[in-house]
Structure formats: structure tokens, C-alpha cells
Amino acid sequence: TMWTRALWMLLLLCKFSLAVLPAKPENISCVFYYEENFTCTWSPEKEASYTWYKVKRTYSYGYKSDICPTDNSTRGNASCSFLPPTITNPDNYTIQVEAQNADGIIKSDITHWNLDAIMKIEPPEIFSAKSVLGIKRMLQIKWKRPVLAPLSSTLKYTLRFRTVNSAHWMEVNFTKEDIDRDETYNLTGLQAFTEYVVALRCAPAESMFWSGWSQEKVGTTEEEAPYGLDLWRVLRPAKFDGRRPVQLMWKKASGAPVLEKALGYNIWYFPENYTNLTETVNTTNQTHELYLGGKTHWVYVISYNSLGESPVATLRIPAIDEKL
């Protein structure tokens, strides 16, 4: 009857209106973990209803095709991995993801992947970070090229470094075209006698994906002659015999290496224009008291270690009757 047909049509329309297709897979991202797997992920990561995924691949430059062999997708996970021996490199792949639930199927756009551009390798292994005898303000970094890296690939590197007391990393980028197992890089322009933390990461030159960072290594640059001194004084009232006590004090100049240590300090002083009356003192302390006459005096202090002397720190002591 007409009423029966109308009721059947109404029920059919209701069924279609209640059907909810899965969300279209988007944001597909693939990484080729060299000699390990080719893994793709996508969104949405969670579906409101139970969803199956099927990942279709073409490879061998489009001459072959297959479906991701793992069954992770049946659990609703938004990722899937292709495993050897069907990982071919170099190659161009296409990937398309189908999402299916009880109400139907929806397909992603087809994505294209050049394996050289998405290759990710393991990090290098630093085995030393040392100064080189006679070369100032440099560390020589030595590391092992990753075993799981294509022999034919030029590798690009980022070397990051910081002083041990700093949280601020600095970086330098370079490439290595040779395929030697052991590699070397000379990190220059550093501070003298300073501890540095270094770490390396690498990637094939064509790839957008970097390895993780290597384990950190600590190295110390060579010691040099002292950097310099900051010098100041405290003038005290003259004694009854006319002599003035002058307390000299000094410390490592701002910017001196944290590890710097002086073996001692040389002080020499004389009345202005009377260098023939120069007197000298040696001390291992960072303070010394002089007894000067009433004239203007000049005072000079240097620090020294086994490698040499610092620049001279100079101080003028005004005459006793000079207005300050």
C-alpha cells in the first residue's frame, strides 16, 4: 500500500541520516627509519566509533603495490609500519589511508614520499672531546659515524656546545662527505681553560629528519697565561710618621676563565717621576698593604702561572694633599 511504501522510505531516510562515516584521514606523515621500517601516521588519532584503517602503498617507482602488513590499524591506532625486505631505497612511494567503520569507507588524498628526503638515521657516538697540545681555544671532537647510515650518503651535522655552567647552547653546522668510520671536527673560537659540554646529531644531506642527539661529552680547552686583573685600593689615614697605609685588592678580570688559577702576583710601585725608587713585592694573596709617602704613586700588579703573565693592572695613588 501507499502507507507501507511511505513508511519504508521514511525508515530508509532515517538510516542514512544517522550514518556517520569515519573522519577523512589527514596530516599523513611518513618517516623512513633506515634499515628498520617505513612508518606512517595520520589524524584523527581517536575516532568516536570503532574504525579500521587500511594503508595502501605503491613502491618500486609505482610498479608494485601492497597493504601495510601489521594489524595495528584494526585496533584504531593511527599508525602503521612497512618492514624489510619490501623497503626499497632509493625509491618513491605513494601512501593512501582508508578509514572504515560500520557505516562506510572514506579515503585520504594520495601522498607522495621520496625516501631520501624522509630518511632518519641513528645518532653518532662521540668518543672524545679534547684540546690539542699547543693549539689555543679549541676542542677536537671525534666520533663514530652511525653504523646504520648509507655509505653513499653525505651526512650533515649539527654540533651544539655550551660551557658547563651555562644553559645556553650554541650550534655550528657542517657536512662530511667521506665515509670514514671515525670522524673529526675542530671546534674553534672558544674560551681558554674552560669546560665545554658538546653533543652531535646528523642526517643524510637530502633528508628533512635529524637523528636524535648523541650522548653529551665534556672537554676542557688548554690553559693560557692569566687573562687579567681588576685592581682597586682603600686609602687609610696617614700615620704619625707621615706614611699612608694603602690596601690593594684584586681579583680575576671579568671574562677570565672560571678554571683559571694564578701561581702568584708581582707588585711594583714608585713615586711619580721617580722610577729609580721602584720597589717590588711578590705575594700569593689577593690583597696587600703598602705604606707610601705623601707623594703621588703609581702601582702595577700582574698575575702569573706556568704559561706566562697577565696584562698589567695599573693604579694611581693621589698625593696626600690632592683634592679627590
pLDDT at 315 over 90: yes
Residue 152, pLDDT score: 75
Dist CA 193 CA 224 (whole Å): 7
Residue 47, pLDDT score: 58
> Structural domains in the chain?
20-119 (2.60.40.10), 121-220 (2.60.40.10), 229-317 (2.60.40.10)
Q: Which residues contact 54 (CB under 8 A, 6 or more apart)?
A: 67, 68, 73, 97, 98, 100
Grid cell at residue 153: 650518503
pLDDT at 198 over 50: yes
pLDDT (mean) for 165-194: 90
The candidate with the shortest Cα–Cα distance to 200, out of 215, 187, 189, 188, is 215
Residue 209 CB neighbours (<10 A): 14
235 vs 2 pLDDT, higher one? 235
The model's pLDDT over 28-80, given as tens digits with 9 standing for 90+, comes to: 999 999 999 999 999 886 655 678 889 999 999 999 999 997 554 445 678 99
198 vs 149 pLDDT, higher one? 198
pLDDT at 18 over 60: no
pLDDT at 85 over 50: yes
pLDDT at 246 over 70: yes
The model's pLDDT over 203-241, given as tens digits with 9 standing for 90+, comes to: 999 999 999 999 999 999 999 999 999 999 998 888 777
Residue 5, pLDDT score: 63
The candidate with the shortest Cα–Cα distance to 199, out of 262, 135, 123, is 123
The model's pLDDT over 109-159, given as tens digits with 9 standing for 90+, comes to: 999 999 999 999 999 999 999 999 889 899 999 999 998 888 777 899 999
pLDDT (mean) for 184-192: 95
> Phi/psi of residue 15, each to 5°?
-60, -45
Q: What is the DSSP string of 75-140?
A: GT-SEEEE-TTS--SS-EEEEEEEEEETTEEEEPPPEEEEGGGGEE-PPPEEEEEE--TT-TT-EE
pLDDT at 16 over 50: no
* The most confident of 21-25, 118-122, 317-321, by mean pLDDT: 118-122
Specify the DSSP class assigned to residue 205: T
Q: Are 38 and 93 in contact (CB under 8 A)?
A: yes
Cβ contacts of 239-246, under 8 Å, gap ≥ 24 = 239/291, 242/293, 242/294, 243/291, 243/292, 243/293, 244/291, 244/292, 244/293, 244/294, 244/320, 245/289, 245/290, 245/291, 246/289, 246/290, 246/291, 246/292, 246/297, 246/299, 246/317
pLDDT at 322 over 70: yes
Share of the chain above pLDDT 70, in %: 89
pLDDT averaged over the chain? 88
pTM score of the predicted model: 0.77
Grid cell at residue 227: 687573562
Residue 4, pLDDT score: 60
Dihedral (Cα; 172, 175, 178, 182), 10-degree rounding: 30
Dihedral (Cα; 251, 255, 256, 259), 10-degree rounding: 110
Rounded (5°) CA angle 188-136-200: 35
> Phi/psi of residue 7, each to 5°?
-65, -40
